[in-house]
Structure 1
């Protein structure tokens, strides 16, 4: 293709490639079919956020209902993230090597069954089953997220249409979290119905996915025989051991075995690195690790997203519940700006991702992560919602929306079509490990600073956590602004 002369002032004629990329993918007969496809793929993000929100808003109520000590609070999120982290590593590659349609249908069905089981787990005698159900939710929702990125990456080549699809995917997290918080708050007096409503939702989505998702054609590269079993086992073991050791740290008073688990996880990640260098078809295309700006991006995203989930969001809701003594449904309504800001951000992203360099969008998102702790540090038990909480929640929501969309598009556009799910799983794995590490560190900081011998985070402890979140987010923003450079998104073919 001949190179366009940059000095021409008038709009150049669109190239055949650009025209092709702007058209609807051949997998869809109508625009409506394409919209349904993107919506169903986004359900992995929605369900992940719903399962997080409807439990986080009931973090106090659930422990009281099952008569569990407050020290088990980290496991409400930890059991979910543990399984999700393991699943993402495996399912990202599986989605690249199999037909992602049937993988998604199976995972939606899996969620339906386990949410039915969850209906019977909210009892003191069944608390172990409750955490197993949470793990199964994390396993399937993590798999759905990785599979969705693989599916979208296969269908869309880099360009404006892909940007809009991934922007929609990014919007689903704040929407799902708000729905989960609101549903969980409304059902706080009827906790089994939280799982019952989730089972109904997952069953409906499973049927819609069966009828509406396109089936990708078979190819030589899409063969389960190419699956890197040894690499996936090392990565899953490393991720699982690290998240388990970190989550169990506070409940066990950081017993030496928790350090041993974390160290063992690091060793498995070292083994994963060695295995991948020699694998015939590695889990993740090795070129990704050498892509300019990738490692600084991962570091900044780790710090920013981890500080958001593990250093602000969980404890902001805890502040509403335990310091300001609001009901779960009121705390859920307080998070309404989360979904409004998320939708507006997505609308803006869909129209600007191809106009600005990705690192500027990523840096703005990293700065937005600072707004949560900035607006919550001055809070007191009597601070009115509209003064600090509302603007803080509105602004901090820009963080995950902007950074996930910019980072996922950059990562999936840097690898071949056959590695889309694997590349996306790297980003989600970073999210899970970051959330686990930051939650564990935040819990430890809050417990040490709070008054009293038992686990009881007071306002002093929460402020210490938010200072930690502020510093971590600021460091991530600096790394992003100085070291990350992402070119503006453009119409092109996949890397080969």
Structure 2
């Protein structure tokens, strides 16, 4: 999306320069599209980049204290606890493409500020679910909470794209955006655990909601007014395609996450899956014929599909790892939520180091090589964590796994975005970040459902073996990512040579 906006801006500059009759007029500087003071620019970067932090914080705030939150709703089976995370990731991944298109139509600043307000409202509702004592109400609130980040992230990237032209400054800004993901998870887990252990867990959601409301106000005040206006030429909204893709992805996800609870032999589980796939097929049929498709199917070539598959298996394995590694620390090693949050704190530093390394490697090595390294990081980190014994010093394996995983996160996202941008037509450049975001979050939700099925139905002798069975699945997914990443790297080098980005 941000690439599409940059191209629109470049065309606008060309038209303005063509109309200028004075040959001596200085050329328009390519760096800053929107003029801002230094302080306002810093605040602008902060208010947009922190949306990624808030997205991951909402994941951590329910995951770390999950065993304190769950008893509020009665005796919940382990398979139902995964919905606390899967419901949120489901809507984040499902609604990203739609929200990006809404930003193109309504204006990115408007949709971005509304995203913070929506996130704040449903975070508060999630806290109030403690009074209802109904898990379904909490799961629904979590799902609607996930729409907030879906509105925020693609429009934050679009706002950056409208302000910064390609160059070092833009690379730094996007590196900051990516580096805040591990920090957001740790911050969310810490404050969620702090309120859950010392006061009452709903205060974690209420304080988070208040923060989101404040950020919404700051977004309206800090982001320049010029960014409120939609592009001069914007596409029509694809209502039919939007309905089909949302219905299809939601139903498929519900089927996979309900399978551990009811079994695949239950009619409503496999019928939900079948209906979901029917909606997805109909979505593809619509997108091939509609005038302004939400997802131009014809623009997706084999390379794009290959990279999206890599992102899916990599981030799916990450979702399993983060859920079951925390479960291991709490149930096997009997760590409190605050202790778990403290153990994940090194991921913040590792995330910033990984972001800096990624920025360097993207301009000194082929992008496909960076993608391969991210898959290796996922597989290595998960393998180290899976085989840790029940009782062992933290620094031996737990610490090692935690500092490796951010390299998989912070390498795969920018690498995948660059590869998709390079292999899609110019008129569809904006789809790159939206597609990667969609696959990242949706794959986490789907993978948790599959891991829940493995945990429940695979032969095991106790909770430790159940936990490892789920992590074996994560090793399998990440190992597949390594194989696919290696094949992709070899094919790319043989076809293009050792090609690196300009810097």
TM over 0.5: yes
Q: Secondary structure at the match of 1:119?
A: helix
Aligned: 1:306 with 2:316: yes
TM-score normalized by structure 2? 0.86
Tell me how far apart the structure 1 counterparts of residues 262 and 331 of structure 2 sit (CA, whole Å): 23
Q: Secondary structure at the match of 1:248?
A: helix
Counterparts of residues 77-476 of structure 1 (less than 5 Å): 77-123=85-131, 125-189=133-197, 190-214=200-224, 215-216=226-227, 217-222=229-234, 226-254=236-264, 255-286=266-297, 288-290=299-301, 293-309=303-319, 311-412=320-421, 419=428, 422-449=431-458, 451=460, 458-476=463-481
Task: Please name the residue that 1:16 is paired with.
Answer: none
1:451, distance to aligned residue in structure 2 (A): 4.8
Against the structure 1 CA distance between its residues 263 and 429, is the aligned structure 2 distance closer, same or farther, given a 3 Å change threshold?
Answer: farther
Match of 1:40 among 31, 35, 47: 47
1:163, distance to aligned residue in structure 2 (A): 2.7
Tell me how far apart the structure 2 counterparts of residues 132 and 28 of structure 1 sit (CA, whole Å): 42
Given that residues 150 and 424 in structure 1 are in contact (C-alpha distance below 8 angstroms), is that contact kept between their aligned partners in structure 2? Answer: no
1:389, distance to aligned residue in structure 2 (A): 0.3
1:124, distance to aligned residue in structure 2 (A): 5.8
Tell me how far apart the structure 1 counterparts of residues 70 and 29 of structure 2 sit (CA, whole Å): 51
1:184, distance to aligned residue in structure 2 (A): 1.2
Tell me how far apart the structure 1 counterparts of residues 44 and 242 of structure 2 sit (CA, whole Å): 28
Given that residues 158 and 489 in structure 1 are in contact (C-alpha distance below 8 angstroms), is that contact kept between their aligned partners in structure 2? Answer: no
1:121, distance to aligned residue in structure 2 (A): 1.3
Given that residues 254 and 272 in structure 2 are in contact (C-alpha distance below 8 angstroms), is that contact kept between their aligned partners in structure 1? Answer: yes
Tell me how far apart the structure 2 counterparts of residues 414 and 145 of structure 1 sit (CA, whole Å): 22
Residue deviations 1:402-455 (CA, integer Å, cap 9, x gap): 101211233346557875654322112212331122111111111223658xxx
Tell me how far apart the structure 1 counterparts of residues 219 and 278 of structure 2 sit (CA, whole Å): 39
The runs of 5 or more residues in structure 2 that have no matched partner are 1-26
How many aligned residue pairs are there? Answer: 464
Task: Please name the residue that 1:4 is paired with.
Answer: none
1:76, distance to aligned residue in structure 2 (A): 0.7
Task: Please name the residue that 1:488 is paired with.
Answer: 500
TM-score normalized by structure 1? 0.87
Which of the two has greater helix per residue?
2
Residue deviations 1:55-101 (CA, integer Å, cap 9, x gap): 11012111112214123112111221232233213112212222100
1:370, distance to aligned residue in structure 2 (A): 1.0
Q: Secondary structure at the match of 2:259?
A: coil
Per mean C-alpha deviation after superposition, the further-off stretch among 378-387 and 318-327 is: 378-387
The runs of 5 or more residues in structure 1 that have no matched partner are 1-19, 492-496
Per mean C-alpha deviation after superposition, the further-off stretch among 386-395 and 74-83 is: 74-83
